[in-house]
Amino acid sequence: MQLIECVPNFSEGQDLNLIRQITNEIEAVEGVRLLNVDPGKATNRTVVTFVGAPGPVIEAAFRAIRKAGELIDMSKHKGEHPRMGATDVCPLIPIANISMEETAAWAQQLAERVGKELQLPVYLYEAAQPNKTRSNLSVIRAGEYEGFFKKLKDPVWKPDFGPGEFDAKRGATVIGARDFLVAYNINLNTTSTRRANAIAFDVREAGRNVVENGVKVNQPGTLKSVKAIGWYIEEYGVAQISMNLTNINITPVHIAFDEVCNKAATRGIRVTGSELVGLVPLKAMLDAGKFFLRKQQRSTGVSEKELIKIAVKSMGLDELAPFKPEERIIEYLLKDQSDSKLVRMTLEDFANETASESPAPGGGSVSAYVGALGISLATMVANLSSHKRGWDDRWEEFSNWAEKGEQLKNELLQLVDEDTRAFNRIMTAMGLPKSTEEEKAARSKAMMDATRYAIEVPFKVMQAAYSSMDIIRAMTINGNPNSVSDAGVGALCARTAVMGAYMNVKINAAGFADQNYTTEMLNKAAAIAVKTRAMEDEIIALVDQCISGNA
């Protein structure tokens, strides 16, 4: 399924009832999911984020632009953020299975419809704008709403769609297609807009113009793919560096934060915190957490939740308002909670569900969970070893082991629910009708596909649990000797996970029609089982030897 994200910015951030009327238009479109609504009082601007297939997203965007034009009077609008219309900007961002070129075509389609049906001046920007001399948003918006009447008289600034006439109430709008952008504000312990702007010019890619030997030259800033300005936010009583990070692969959030801290310090100013506007990708938060842990020479092999907590605290993302990951991280908003029903249970609920008369979760899910516990113990040993007094020069070695352990733990946890879904697919296939030859053929194919899947899932458990043995062995030999018994228990869990999953591979393969496939999978599984038992024996012997030596 093709997915695009739409992030319209509306020039209203104070009247929540008005904002709700606009977002109601979006939510009324089937196939669109509203992810986030982020109003700002001082900027008098609301950033809305929604996703869906291209057609529904375009329809929702059109309705929202229409409603915003009805409700917002730009002749009365005041706010800190640059703006030129009721719907100031409406970007489309490719998310899944769609190219930038395709996304740009959808943006052009939306812009044409808005210009024609709403009689609103529309400019294209970024990837949707074929004329690259006017594709930059800041250039299009220069002069803002107040200068728009004069700008429209210049033939160079004829709108791409819609009338070339000044609309005093609605202004104009800019529609385009771009990569994922992170809007990010950094808080300063000053009220001076001039000083905030000086720091913004220090870091933004465009830098500042300076005079050298009587000639005006550009002095670039230190951060690529960053746009920035300084402003004073009366609501908070502080100045901010307002940034757009246009490519977080080039300049991630944590690098932008750190660089502003450095540049502010040279001017006698402190950074007190920051805020994200709208949504952020999960990777950006995880990378930030690891960055700040590495600066402390601490292990980065900790849970996703802990990495996010470190990122929030390190960048002060909760200074102005609580930062709720479930509401601000895009992957969390898109996640179907039913996909992780089992791993979200308490230990007691999981045991009760397993013990109930329901056939799932069964041995496959339990094997995956036991494997997750095994590698978790090894990861614990790695983290303890990383922070052991006197082992400071080895922290990175153990941090790397812990990171590998975290990856395997997450994979095995995902397979807990995946195994139950595999069982449910077989049950669904068995329940298909079989009255006609066509229905019988369809049911037979569904059974084949579901059974193959039910073989592959526990085989993945075997592979992941066996892979964890390398980490467990390393922690047995090199880890904190006081935790060697924990590594030993981890080995027992990993062995149980492999052998339990092996049973599931064999029982699901029994009677499977494709004998070549079955033979291949059973041979591979048998080889993993043999190597696992040998590894377990070695690790347990090492554990016993270490314990005996310490006795």
- 77 catalytic residue (yes or no): no
Distance CA 497, CA 501 (A): 6
C-alpha pair distances (Å), 41 with each of 187, 225, 236, 272: 16, 27, 10, 20
**Which DSSP symbol is given to 393?**
G
- Residue 376 is which amino acid? S
β 226-233/238-245 pair status: antiparallel
List the catalytic residue out of 38, 202, 417, 419: 419
Distance CA 457, CA 411 (A): 11
β 87-96/45-52 pair status: unpaired
Burial track 340-372 (b if 16+ CB lie within 10 A, e otherwise)? eebbebeeeebeebbeeeeebbebbbbbbbbbb
Distance CA 141, CA 164 (A): 15
Residue 250: closest CA among 187, 179, 325, 301: 179
- Residue 265 is which amino acid? A
Q: What is the 3-state secondary structure (H, E, C) of 494-550?
A: HHHHHHHHHHHHHHHHCCCCCHHHHHHHHHHHHHHHHHHHHHHHHHHHHHHHHHHHH
State the CB neighbour count (10 A cutoff) for residue 537: 12
State the CB neighbour count (10 A cutoff) for residue 102: 16
Q: What is the 3-state secondary structure (H, E, C) of 259-270?
A: HHHHHHHHCCCC
Distance CA 349, CA 413 (A): 16
Query: Which residue has tokens 């895009």?
Result: 330
Residue 422: closest CA among 526, 507, 527: 507
Q: How many CA atoms lie within 13 A of 398 on its CB side?
A: 26
Residue 165: closest CA among 175, 179, 151, 185: 151
Q: How many CA atoms lie within 13 A of 268 on its CB side?
A: 2
Query: Using CA atoms in the order 280, 201, 289, 296, what is the torsion angle rounded to 10 degrees?
Result: 180
Which tokens in the block code for residue 305? 């939740």
Phi-psi domain of 143 (left: phi exceeds 0; alpha: psi -120 through 50; beta: other) = left
C-alpha pair distances (Å), 10 with each of 44, 73, 81, 172, 183: 9, 11, 11, 12, 15
Backbone angles phi, psi at 163, to 5 degrees: -75, 145
- 160 catalytic residue (yes or no): no
List the catalytic residue out of 38, 81, 88, 160: 81
Catalytic positions are: 81, 419
